[in-house]
Amino acid sequence: MHHKKNGMEDSKMLQQIQAVLRFFMAMFYLGAGIFLLFFSDSFQIDRALLNIVGGTFLFYGVYRIYRASVSVFKLFFSKNNDQD
């Protein structure tokens, strides 16, 4: 029984690490989108393509930040009712 509880704690810690990594990846997408939309004047790529890719990264980053923050809040700040 003690070993099973230990495994569940390791699993929660792994989920917490994954949630934090998902949050940082979402920040990367958001930053890449902002960079491509507003600070990519030196690239020799068509501006319309930069706007499409940058906008996609921006919206995907906002969506991923929302999903990651919900996951982080659930794993770090909510009370776990399964503890005995």
Domain boundaries, the chain: 2-77
pLDDT at 80 over 90: no
Residue-wise pLDDT for 31-59, tens only, equals: 999 999 999 888 898 999 999 999 999 99
Residue-wise pLDDT for 58-73, tens only, equals: 999 999 999 999 998 9
Q: How much is the pLDDT for 5?
A: 56
Q: Give the span between the Cα atoms of 7 and 80, in whole angstroms.
A: 16
Q: What is the dihedral of CA 52, 54, 56, 62, to 10 degrees?
A: -150
- pTM (two decimals): 0.75
Q: Give the span between the Cα atoms of 58 and 26, in whole angstroms.
A: 10
Please give the structure tokens belonging to residue 22.
């998902």
